[in-house]
Structure 1
Amino acid sequence: MLFLEISIVAFLLKENYASCLETLARTFMVSGLLVGVDLLLKAIFIFGFGVPLFLDVEIADRGKWGVWCTNKLLLTAAYGYILFVHFSKWRDKLPPRPAFYNYVIVMFVTTAVMLFSCGLAGIRGGFGLWLYNLTVVCYHSLYLPFLYVTFLADFFKEEDWLLDSAYYSEMKDAGFFDADWE
């Protein structure tokens, strides 16, 4: 999911500066590098320091919530920076697509809620653990439909279906479907 998230933002930020193949190659290299570093750091914390990152065994494990807070803080800062640049004088450096900003706003709010819930869970708040788990479930179950609605719904408009219906009605009026099949 992190690879997809980074790839989408990186690809949309490099929209008009290179050819498609070159942009995809650079995007996948940067995304792969960042996800690889994230994976390596999580493996070091899990196997090297014994921090149970993916287990809810003990809510009071400060190392676990420190790692998750740092992770979510970096993501929130990245999305916040993009929003800051959008409302600054450097706005022309970003893509002019409104769908991109809708994506960034939703992801900023999602990661900010996750950051807040990690902070609450880190100070032994039961509500923080519940909120974190809720946002993780919502993120993983709604991320792909959100991508479809944000970026692909316009591509798959119903105009094609209306055009097929128009062809069908023209063929019906011309008598193509009136033949006796007995």
Structure 2
Amino acid sequence: MSKNLRGFFSIAPTTSVPAEGADGGDLFVIFRWYNSFFSSSSAARACHGFWHNAALVLPAALFIAYLGFQAKRNIKKLGHGRAYVMIAYYVLLWFAALLNLAWSCLQAWQCAPGKDVAWNLLSLFTASGMLCLEIGIVAFLLQDNYVSGLETLAYTFMVSGIFVGVDVLFKVMCIFGFGVPIFIDVEITHRGKWAIWVAYKLLLSAVYGYILFVHYSKWKDKLPPKPAFYNYAIVLFIFNAIALCACGFAGIGAGIGLWLYNFTVVLYHSFYLPFLYVTFLADFFQEEDWLMDNAYYSEMKDAGFFDSEWD
């Protein structure tokens, strides 16, 4: 490998600047530009910079503002429809969104001495809330769409609760028992961390890949015919496949893998919750509006308001 590419592909980029016009110099400059623009340094460890944090905070804050703007109308519709499952997911969405905003605003805790425990706990709660939504939405949509029974609610949260509980227990053991810095994004040398993330991304890729395989096979009738669900599965499969490659490259010491991993973290925390809301919850609210409009139209038609159109 060329010495000029060492800063791009190694875990610790070199500080020397390659000669002008040398092979690989452009890649080196791009990587150094990214580090200087999106990262800062501290005495303890390299830390994310202003633009990285802004890319997390701004979408999270805008999504909270949007939820707040729509809250009155959405709560009224949820209360009117008595859709217990959707009510539970709406509450959980608010909980995860608030935790995600706090996580985005407190990125500096990764670099602050003595904040490791607080950062790991905040990251653990945030990741668990988002994972509960991710697993629960799959379990929910594999049943009848928008079922409002309490039995469905219990089953859905039992499935997601079991998976999330096992996930939390495993991560607690890794972080506080074995000292694996799972949630320290700026920690780049611990191979155990990358092995864990490779396993996680491989599992998630396999789950979404299996769903897509069944959907496009002769057994597709075993899954519900919900196009939005499969568009969601396609996006999540591609995302987790890219994250899997990033973790694999980072695990073997490639700096581009670390850059790509951090990029996927920003994408997930910035856009996953809005994407989930737009794909599922927003459709539920819009569908309820459509049903109400049809009901009003039927009532007006029965009352003879449209008879004049046929005269």
Q: TM-score, length-normalised on structure 2?
A: 0.48
2:249 to 93, 96, 120: 120
Q: Aligned AA for 2:234?
A: I
Runs of 4+ in 1 over 4 A off after TM superposition: none
Does structure 1 retain, via aligned residues, the 8 Å contact 2:185–2:262? no
Work out whether 1:51 is the aligned partner of 2:180: yes
In the other structure, the counterpart of 1:3 is: 132
In the other structure, the counterpart of 1:111 is: 240
Does structure 2 retain, via aligned residues, the 8 Å contact 1:68–1:118? yes
Specify which structure has the bigger relative contact order, considering alpha-carbon pairs within 8 angstroms and separated by 6 or more residues. Answer: 2
In the TM superposition, residue 57 of structure 1 has moved relative to its aligned partner by 4.9
Q: Which runs of 5+ in 1 are unaligned?
A: 161-182
In the TM superposition, residue 106 of structure 1 has moved relative to its aligned partner by 0.6
In the other structure, the counterpart of 1:13 is: 142
In the other structure, the counterpart of 2:268 is: 139
Q: Could you tell me how far apart the structure 2 residues matched to 1:96 and 1:57 are?
A: 42
Work out whether 1:77 is the aligned partner of 2:212: no
Cα distance change on mapping 1:48 and 1:154 into 2, 3 Å: closer
In the other structure, the counterpart of 1:29 is: 158
Q: Could you tell me how far apart the structure 1 residues matched to 2:283 and 2:211 are?
A: 24
In the TM superposition, residue 27 of structure 1 has moved relative to its aligned partner by 0.8
Aligned length, in residue pairs: 161
In the TM superposition, residue 92 of structure 1 has moved relative to its aligned partner by 0.4
In the other structure, the counterpart of 1:66 is: 195
Does structure 1 retain, via aligned residues, the 8 Å contact 2:195–2:251? yes
Does structure 2 retain, via aligned residues, the 8 Å contact 1:60–1:123? no
Q: Aligned AA for 1:32?
A: G
Paired residues for 1:93-112 under 5 Å: 93-112=222-241
Does structure 2 retain, via aligned residues, the 8 Å contact 1:10–1:27? yes
Q: Could you tell me how far apart the structure 1 residues matched to 2:250 and 2:151 are?
A: 42
Cα distance change on mapping 1:13 and 1:156 into 2, 3 Å: closer
Percent sequence identity over aligned pairs: 71
Does structure 1 retain, via aligned residues, the 8 Å contact 2:131–2:164? yes
Q: Could you tell me how far apart the structure 2 residues matched to 1:148 and 1:57 are?
A: 30
Does structure 2 retain, via aligned residues, the 8 Å contact 1:121–1:127? yes
In the TM superposition, residue 89 of structure 1 has moved relative to its aligned partner by 1.4
Cα distance change on mapping 1:152 and 1:47 into 2, 3 Å: closer
SS in 1 for 2:269: helix
Q: Aligned AA for 1:125?
A: A
CA RMSD, aligned part only?
A: 2.4
In the other structure, the counterpart of 2:115 is: none
Cα distance change on mapping 1:96 and 1:54 into 2, 3 Å: same
> Residue deviations 1:94-145, cap 9 Å, x none?
1101001011001111111111111111111111111111111111111122
Paired residues for 1:156-167 under 5 Å: 156-157=285-286
**Is 53-62 or 122-131 further displaced after alignment?**
53-62
Q: Could you tell me how far apart the structure 2 residues matched to 1:123 and 1:68 are?
A: 13
In the other structure, the counterpart of 1:91 is: 220
SS in 2 for 1:145: helix
Q: TM-score, length-normalised on structure 1?
A: 0.80
